[in-house]
Amino acid sequence: MGRALLLPILSVFILGSCLSSFLMVVVYRLPRQESLGGRSHCEHCGKVLTPWQLIPIWSFLFLKGKCRNCLVPINRKYPISEIVGGILLVILYIF
């Protein structure tokens, strides 16, 4: 794979991670009849997340897997789904 493909593949991975993150919000909120338009928040303490805390994968690593406010561990299904979503979109992009 050449260097020319690196930036597009990285961009597609980031897009896939963001789409997966949004889908996880939908899956979490719809059964609870929460608005999809509301701000993202900690499932435990309800604290609204800052923009940098919304960056898929990176925020989980930066926060060491815990809410910055209440220190309750963030469920690992979120970063795992973001990684899988990124990988799946890259696979679709390549093929």
- pLDDT value at residue 42: 94
Report yes or no on 1 lying in a domain: no
- pLDDT value at residue 38: 87
- pLDDT value at residue 1: 58
**pTM for the complete prediction?**
0.88
Instruction: Please state the domain count of the chain.
Output: 1
| Residue ranges of the chain with per-residue pLDDT less than 50 | none
Report yes or no on 47 lying in a domain: yes
- pLDDT value at residue 5: 85
Q: Determine the structural domain holding residue 82 and report its residue range.
A: 7-94
What's the one-letter identity of residue 28?
Y
- pLDDT value at residue 70: 97
What's the one-letter identity of residue 45?
C
Identify which of 80, 82, 93 has the alpha carbon closest to the alpha carbon of residue 7: 93
pLDDT digits (tens, 9 = 90+) for 57-83: 999 999 999 999 999 999 999 999 999
Identify which of 83, 91, 81 has the alpha carbon closest to the alpha carbon of residue 26: 81
